[in-house]
Amino acid sequence: MTKYRLFFGVLTLAIGWNTYAGATPISLNLADIAAGADLNWETASYGYDIKSSFGNYDPLNPLINVLALSVQNATDPVYGIVPAYLYFISENGDWTANVLNSRGWVIETEMRLDGSTETLDPTSPYYNYYNVALLINDDTYSTYISINPGTVFVGDPDLGGISIDVTTTDYHTYRIEGQDNFIKLYVDDQLEVTYQQPGPSGGTEALAFGDQYSYGSSISYWKSFSYDTDPAPAVPEPSTILLLGGGLAGLFITRRFVIR
């Protein structure tokens, strides 16, 4: 009996801990994306002159392998600009299949802008969108993390948001957490923005990064990119607490029997 109690105690504890720990984040292979070998990611150009490469392309540190995205400005007959996303997840991708706003999600990337990236003209109708961005669309809300020379914007340009000052020409690790109508932005592990979405923005599940609106040209360097559609909960759910408690109780009872 002691062996069975020990076995079920350890098994219950393991199940409870796995439930609490959440899933393993998916880290993108940026070299495969640049080469078109990752079929979960596709390229959208919409008339841009796009250059994408992976390797020793960062002039500040040629020993760092990065995904270098270079987008030259294009023209639109009305506004003089053309909207585009360089890389977006396909309909068959993990994000599209598994993201759930009520459960929450986490995205983390380390990147920087090149000093030649141009600031958008304030008179442009797309000024608030900025050049380089992450577009994050779960099943309820659409969120932009827009990166411009010297600033980072969190929110939806059409509904509002928060801008903070960041030296965007330096490498920073940006961690974005979303659940319900709250978005949190961490810069180098420091919480910088907590933004409450004013209301559902609709749309379909999507995840994209790269150039957003190119009134001017932009160059960005991406060292890493990962996302998690099933992150560990900040507070364990009741069922998880019961599993963990049951496992610990089973081990305690087993230990008492062993001692006797």
Q: Phi/psi of residue 115, each to 5°?
A: -65, -15
In whole angstroms, give the CA distance from residue 82 to residue 39: 25
Q: What pLDDT score was predicted for residue 202? A: 66
Nearest 10 degrees: Cα torsion 196, 200, 204, 209: -20
d(CA 171, CA 6): 49
CB 207, CB 95: distance < 8 Å: yes
Q: Is 118 helix (H, G, I), strand (E, B) or coil?
A: coil
The top-scoring range by mean pLDDT among 29-38, 42-51, 75-84 is 29-38
The pLDDT of 103-117, averaged and rounded, is: 94
Count CB neighbours of 55 within 10 A.
13
Kindly tell me if the per-residue pLDDT of 19 is higher than 50.
no
pLDDT digits (tens, 9 = 90+) for 122-172: 666 555 566 788 989 998 998 989 898 999 999 987 788 999 999 999 999
Binned at pLDDT 50, 70 and 90, residue 8 comes out as very low
The tokens 């081990």 sit on which residue? Answer: 251
| Residue 195, both tokens | 């933004």
Q: Say which residues have a Cβ less than 8 Å from residue 229's Cβ, sequence separation at least 6.
A: 23, 94, 95, 98, 99, 100, 103, 105
Buried b (16+ CB within 10 A) or exposed e, 209-227: bbbbbbbbbbbbbbbebeb
Question: pTM above 0.75?
Answer: yes
